Amino acid sequence: MLTVFGSVALDTIRTTKVIRNALGGAATYAAISASYFADTGLIAVVGHDFPTRYQSILEKFVDTKGVVHAHGRTFRYDGSYDKTLSIRTTNKTELNVLKDFNPIVPEQYRKSEFVYLANNDPKQNTKILKEFDRVKFSMCDTIEFWISTKKSDVIKMMGSVDSVVINDEEAKLLTKTHNLIKAAKKIMEWGTKYVIIKKGEHGSLLFYDDIVFPSPAFSMENIVDPTGAGDSFAGGMIGYLSSKNSTKMTTIKEAAVYGNIMGSFAVEKYGVYGITRLRKRRIKTRFDKYRKMVHF
């Protein structure tokens, strides 16, 4: 089984269109994406304002025993994209119920062998990881907000997991270098074995020891909303590893490709709808097409 912990949010996303109070959150995207590969449990907190229809969407894909309904407002995120949809500016991050959340791992999730700590308070992420009894592979992500407010906790969190997945811009910000190889090496020095740097429309780089495995993104002509692409990438990746119950290098490479595939579905529709209307068959077909595309 796989457990995902992290933010569930109400997002305001500004592209050419403005969408308010959309179902969002790093854990939402990651857990839904992972659910196409493995049974997924979600641990998160939402507020009294969290719509029942969003709870129903979560329930359709994942086990929600770990979703706590607290008093107060749901975590909110407000972000704008530039015309090219490649640069995102954060307008507002309201932690609300996430701020003092004291997460508890439901008994049924404690034996999860695969754990993904999606974007969230790094202190909470590090603490919750210790509550799992037999983790085989753990992975975490972070975002500018946490790097600028809790950098030393972010570094500690990265030292406590097997793998870090992070955006190129955030990797540069965190390690204060412009070179992604140097950035990955620095993150590995903090204790993690694998680093996956996501490069948006340019795909990803996987690092392990001296190995670098680049995978291009699945080329897309029509992108409407990049929100959640990174989280869908991570969910697809760890979901695939969990489905194979393996952490072999060849499986990790395939998992990174599935990450790119899930990210490509996420950007095709607004909000979570790029990944809520999929079939396993469509994912596999795109994976096979990708394999042909990169073969030479």
Beta strands at 137-140 and 163-167: parallel, antiparallel or unpaired? parallel
Contact between 25 and ligand AMP (CB under 6 A)? yes
Contact between 228 and ligand AMP (CB under 6 A)? yes
- Closest approach, Cβ 11 to ligand AMP, in A, equals 5
- Pick from 7, 33, 96, 138 the residue near ligand AMP by CB under 6 A: 7
- Pick from 24, 66, 259, 274 the residue near ligand AMP by CB under 6 A: 24
Q: Are 227 and 11 in contact (CB under 8 A)?
A: yes
Contact between 256 and ligand AMP (CB under 6 A)? no
| Structural tokens at position 144 | 């500018």
- Pick from 2, 3, 5, 11 the residue near ligand AMP by CB under 6 A: 11
Q: Which residues are registered as beta bridge partners of 240? A: none
Q: Which amino acid is at 73?
A: R
Helix-strand-coil split of the chain, %, nearest 5: 40, 25, 35
Tokens 């869908």 found at: 232
Q: Which strand (E) or helix (H) includes residue 90?
A: strand 88-94
**What is the b/e burial string over 14-43, where b = at least 16 CB atoms within 10 angstroms of the residue's CB?**
ebeeeeeebbbbbbbbbbbbbbbbbebbbb
- Closest approach, Cβ 169 to ligand AMP, in A, equals 10
The nearer residue to ligand AMP, 113 or 187, going by C-beta atoms, is 187
- Closest approach, Cβ 76 to ligand AMP, in A, equals 8
- Pick from 2, 143, 184, 205 the residue near ligand AMP by CB under 6 A: 143
Q: Which of 116, 180, 119 is nearest to 144 (CA)?
A: 119
**Stretch of 3-11, 37-45, 108-116, 246-254 contacting ligand AMP, by CB under 6 A:** 3-11
State the CB neighbour count (10 A cutoff) for residue 60.
Answer: 11
**Stretch of 63-71, 100-108, 142-150, 199-207 contacting ligand AMP, by CB under 6 A:** 142-150
Q: Which strand (E) or helix (H) includes residue 267?
A: none
- Closest approach, Cβ 292 to ligand AMP, in A, equals 27
Contact between 42 and ligand AMP (CB under 6 A)? no
Using the Cα atoms of residue 8, residue 101, residue 41 and residue 239 in order, give the sign of their dihedral: positive
Contact between 163 and ligand AMP (CB under 6 A)? no
- Closest approach, Cβ 227 to ligand AMP, in A, equals 5
**Stretch of 60-68, 131-139, 228-236, 274-282 contacting ligand AMP, by CB under 6 A:** 228-236
φ, ψ at 128 (rounded to 5°): -70, -30
Contact between 93 and ligand AMP (CB under 6 A)? yes
What angle separates helix 26-34 from helix 249-266, to the nearest 10 degrees? 120
- Pick from 5, 54, 77, 258 the residue near ligand AMP by CB under 6 A: 77
State the CB neighbour count (10 A cutoff) for residue 226.
Answer: 21
Contact between 26 and ligand AMP (CB under 6 A)? yes
Q: Which amino acid is at 213?
A: F
Contact between 34 and ligand AMP (CB under 6 A)? no
The nearer residue to ligand AMP, 4 or 113, going by C-beta atoms, is 4
The nearer residue to ligand AMP, 241 or 262, going by C-beta atoms, is 262
Residues forming the site for ligand AMP (CB under 6 A):
7, 9, 11, 24-26, 77, 93, 119-120, 143, 145-146, 227-231
